[in-house]
Amino acid sequence: MSSTDILMKPLVSVLQMLRNRVISTEELLHRTYTRINETKSLNAFVSVVEKNDNLEFCIKDDRSSILKGIPFAVKDNFSTRNISTTCASNMLRNYVPTYSATVVKKLTDAGGTLMGKTNLDEFAMGVGTVDSIIGPTRNPWQYDFQHPNPDDWYIAGGSSGGSAVAVATGASYFALGSDTGGSVRLPASFCGVVGLKPTYGSLSRHGLISLVNSMDVPGILARCVDDVVFIYNILSGNDPRDSTTVQGKVEKVVIEENPSVKDLVVGIPKQYHGPDVSPEIIDCWKWAADIFSNNGAKVVEVSLPHTQYSIVCYHVLCCGEVASNMARYDGLQYGHRSDGGFTEEMYAKSRNEGFNESVRGRITAGNYFLLRRNYRKYYEKAQKVRRLIQTDIKKVFDKGSGKNSGVDVLLAPVTVSTAPQYKTFAQKTNSYRTVEHDIYTQSANMAGVPAISVPVRLSQAKLPISLQLLASNFNEGTLLRAAKFLENASSFQHPKFDF
Amino acid sequence: MVPSLFMMQRCLFPGAIGCKPSFILVKRYNCSSQKNARLQDDRWIPTVGLEIHAQINSQSKLFSSAKNQFMAPPNSLVSNFDASIPGTLPVINKECVRKAVRTGLALNCKIQKTSFFDRKHYFYSDMPQGYQITQYKHPIAKNGYLHYPTADGSVVKRVKIEQIQLEQDSGKSMHEEGQVTLIDLNRAGVGLMEIVTAPEVSSAGDACAFLKELYGILMRIGTCDGKLAEGQFRVDANISIAQQKTKLGTRVEVKNISGFKHIHNVIEYEIKRQIRIVEEGGIVESETRAFDYETGFTVSMRDKEIKQDYRFMPEPNLPPLHVYDDSSVTSLSNPSSVINVDQERRNLPKLPADIRGHLIESFHLSFVEAEFLTNRNMENYFIEVMECAHNLNPTVVWNWIKMHVIAHMVEYNLSSIEECYVSARDLAALLLLLHNNEINAETAHLTFTTAIQTRQHPDKIVEENNWKMISDKETVTKLCEDAIATLQCTDAKALSGYDADKPKSKASKQAIKRVIMLVRKNTNDKIHTGVAKDVTMKLLNYKRTS
């Protein structure tokens, strides 16, 4: 690897180089393909777009476009026209969409080059990127590229683990993930990249294969906040194909090089001080609070009293929507289809073969929660709890309601620990892992508010520790400003991996 | 759009092997013992509630941009969303909302300013999502009612409309010979209005009268095309019997009936079947039955024997559906982009009941005559004819429309009276000629046919063809006198049989005929025979008595 690795440079400076013809798009693509090859053992990609297809595309491109052929990757649950979209599931192993998701189309229309589709937990159900038909994705941190040990490596986090690894290793300048309960922020934190979960409705879900419609949101992974801002500005806005997107115009986010936080009130949610959080993370959290405070921000402790119910509430709502969303996979129009038998038999067999145990489990649980006799007890109650959690967060951000409020951003951990080792992680069930790792990220999805994971420092084991910032709905401007400040303050270094 | 090839390969599949028709016969009630059953019927009070699925005649489907059209090649009107392609999302069609609002207003419902969509889950191969998007808890219109006249118009009854909900239609499964099921998704996702009545109808006749009135309203306000053979107006009937009015019996649901005659038969049949069961000491089972069009029986639907749990949940991909009124619309930046209920109310046309009332009151038509015109959107044509020629007898005009105008429309395959080749003004002119005895009925018919062919004004046709009759009394009298005189001279016997006391006798008629024949000959067939007949009779009477 050359000492100045162009693939690890910030997007904005590479665009400058392309503009000044310091490097050509073709050269950039060749290098990226080489990088994808070098990092193949990490299993970040489910499929890679043919090199010739992309070269043809970038030669046609006239460099006047916004993204000038910049390589990017997309989680394999976003529909891509003529490119297989598997959701890492046997069910969609051979499924090729006839259309592209709005966010993907916006990126290709802007001149981005889609390198490939990244790995995830089947249908984005998981926190590790380990439950996939192509096997788990490995975290590049502390990974021995020369002598890979089949068991001794760290997980990438999930479910957008493939996207996080592609960005962390320079196999893409940025990547799309989807965040339903933390699926962008968690792998971003484990892999030491920035992961933005925008406000629900600010990015179109059209073409994103649904997990939980009321919480899903396309997320952006990149190596620095500026790059996230750049892509966010391309992607945000109303989409007539998604009725839940924002009406009217979305303000473009502009962030200064060294933003001030003097005017900000930073909230520290006291309920996030869980006993399971590793001391290293608590320590990092405290450091960050001090940094904000030392730079003129007002740091206050706030209360989100319903946080403890968030996990179980999320579980019920998620399973209910999953059961419903997965009902379409019956093997008739598309997807895996078993032979023979009566119609119902064929459905059952196709679904049994098509979905992994974790997906089937959620479907069963969801259908149980939705039964007429259970609906009030579970689903309706969970909706009520969700409203309480929303209200908690809304109150905290509300400027006009006195004490314990008026916060601009919340500062919190992303998760309880740094990336766990695969061998320990694999011993736990999918649902237990979700409970453990999504605990601090879910609330943002329940409330719809934007949140971002920013890498801050390394742990003793030399693994990235990241922190999370949350802001009120459609307040990406403030959120990204605070994130940029934190990034500047922490001077986290992207490593030179020894490919 | 999904390329048709994709759908043909993947959807028009020879699969679902072994999928049998979902109907099995359980027990047939023999209709031949009708007499017996009628004797017992009086002791039972039937109660019927109706659910009408009226297809909205919008250009595109309820949540997708695919066209809504009948008789297109299979799977040619299927968007990605309709085929449940992963990642697609519903987008509400405003036109469907507008039409549901209009329907709600016409049925005196309270329009809900905010309504919601729900998912109703069940696996069925022609419902690709695995759920139907419907409005379960918070429909767009609630608490309405409809006054409807019974079949002969003698009594007006009232039925409560519980609610109107917007929902998706399903696709169609075709169970072919050889145990293959083919699926056509052209209909999948087309907008339906499900109109639910309270269980307040007490006979098959009333149910049909109500449905016909409802049907007429939907046609009139233009929210449903109502082509029965195409399944655009389908009815589910909930039928039960009880001995007291206050108590409802176990209800049986008969699904998916099209056509008023069929609906009548189904309800009649089902009431009798239930009475028979109870009279024989049995218990009516709560179940869903289907109507067998071939045998005229209702049969239990095997699929639904086990009570379905639809696992309703809110549709998360659709925000609440808002409609506005005059006061709330002003606060919007773009009021034309939303549905204003008050505006829709102002735009509602006159409804059939009002039109019938007007025809009966102003023109003294009978209920049946008024209904005939109203159902065919012909009241304005009729009224225009009457306005052009006040002297005309409304019943004569009505008869002409019924006999000649309709026949012409059928012959030329015209779907609306506006397309008729003879305008109301022209028909009025024609009927005036007839009324004034300037032409006779035969010539009138000939003139009408000529008008259709040449598109000329009746006056001109009659003029050019020299069809006008001599009907002026003085001239006719003169002509008849001349003829009688001639006959008396040449063939005295010809008139001798006339008997003034018996003007209708064979001999009298013969005498009159001889006179008329001569007048016709003398006038080159231009005499108005009706007038001539009267005059001749008077002249002959006079001659005898004098």
d(Cα B231, Cα B235) in Å, to the nearest integer? 10
Residue A115 lies in a domain: yes
Residue A28 lies in a domain: yes
Contact check, Cβ <8 Å, A99/B80: yes
Contact check, Cβ <8 Å, A327/B131: yes
d(Cα B68, Cα B169) in Å, to the nearest integer? 11
| Catalytic residue status for A183 | yes
Residue A434 lies in a domain: no
| Lookup: tokens for B222 | 């233009």
Q: What is the 3-state secondary structure (H, E, C) of chain A?
A: CCCCCHHHCCHHHHHHHHHCCCCCHHHHHHHHHHHHHHCHHHCCEEEECCHHHHHHHHHHCCCCCCCCCCEEEEECCECECCECCCCCCHHHCCCCCCCCCHHHHHHHHCCCEEEEEECCCHHHCCCCCCCCCCCCCECCCCCCCCCCCCCCCEECCCCCHHHHHHHHCCCCCEEEEEECCCCCHHHHHHHCCEEEECCCCCCCCCCECCCCCCCCEEEEEECCHHHHHHHHHHHCCCECCECCCCCCCCCCCCCCCCCCCCCCEEEEEHHHCCCCCCHHHHHHHHHHHHHHHHCCCEEEEECCCCHHHHHHHHHHHHHHHHHHHHHHCCCCCCCCCCCCCCHHHHHHHHHHHHCCHHHHHHHHHHHHHHCCCCCHHHHHHHHHHHHHHHHHHHHHHCCCCCCCCCCCEEEEECCCCCCCEHHHHCCCCHHHHHHHHCCCCHHHHHHCCCEEEEEEEECCCCCEEEEEEEECCCCHHHHHHHHHHHHHHHCCCCCCCCC
Task: Note whether B266 and B291 are within 8 A (CB).
Answer: yes
Query: Which stretches of B118-259 are DSSP H helices?
Result: 204-221
Residues of B in contact with A95 (CB under 8 A): 86
Preferred mutation among A85, A343, A371 to probe B, highest tally of B CBs within 10 A? A343
Taking the CA of residue B108 and the nearest CA in chain A, the distance in Å comes to: 30
Contact check, Cβ <8 Å, B87/A341: no
| Catalytic residue status for A79 | no
pLDDT (tens digit, 0 to 9) for every residue of chain B, 546 residues total? 343 333 333 333 333 333 333 332 233 344 444 444 444 567 889 999 999 999 999 999 999 999 999 889 999 999 999 999 999 999 999 999 999 999 999 999 999 999 999 999 988 888 999 999 999 999 999 999 999 999 888 899 999 999 999 999 999 988 777 677 889 999 999 999 999 999 999 999 999 999 999 999 999 999 999 999 889 999 999 999 998 777 888 899 999 899 999 999 999 999 999 999 998 999 988 888 888 888 878 888 755 445 789 999 999 999 999 999 999 998 888 888 899 999 999 999 999 999 999 999 999 999 999 999 999 999 999 999 999 998 899 999 999 999 999 999 999 999 888 888 999 999 999 999 999 888 888 889 999 999 999 999 999 999 898 888 888 888 899 999 998 888 888 887 878 888 878 878 888 888 888 888 888 888 888 888 888 888 888 888 876 655
Provide the pLDDT for residue B4: 37
The H helix count followed by the E strand count for chain B is 19, 16
Preferred mutation among B9, B172, B175, B317 to probe A, highest tally of A CBs within 10 A? B317
CA-nearest residue to B12 within chain A is A333
Contact check, Cβ <8 Å, B2/A98: yes
| Lookup: tokens for B531 | 């007038």
Chain A and chain B share a number of CB contacts under 8 A equal to 128
Options A89, A160, A183, A310, the catalytic residue: A183
Residue A297 lies in a domain: no
On the CB side of A245, CA atoms within 13 Å amount to 22
Number of structural domains (chain A) is: 1
Closest CA to B91 of A244, A225, A123: A244
Provide the pLDDT for residue B199: 95
Contact check, Cβ <8 Å, B317/A213: yes
d(Cα A322, Cα A211) in Å, to the nearest integer? 6
**Which residue of A92, A209, A243 is in closest CB contact with B317?**
A243
- The CATH number assigned to the domain holding A188 equals 3.90.1300.10
> Taking the CA atoms of chain A, what radius of gyration do you get in angstroms?
21
CA atoms A6, A8, A14, A18: torsion sign: positive
Options A75, A105, A106, A484, the catalytic residue: A75
Contact check, Cβ <8 Å, A324/B313: yes
Contact check, Cβ <8 Å, A244/B317: yes
| Catalytic residue status for A75 | yes
Query: Which tens digits make up the pLDDT trace of A199-219?
Result: 999 999 999 999 999 999 999
What is the extent of the structural domain holding A215? 13-259+454-490
Residues of A in contact with B92 (CB under 8 A): 243
Residue A165 lies in a domain: yes
Provide the pLDDT for residue A150: 80
The DSSP element (H or E) to which B257 belongs, if any, is strand B252-258
Provide the pLDDT for residue B28: 37
**Which residue of B10, B18, B121 is in closest CB contact with A333?**
B10
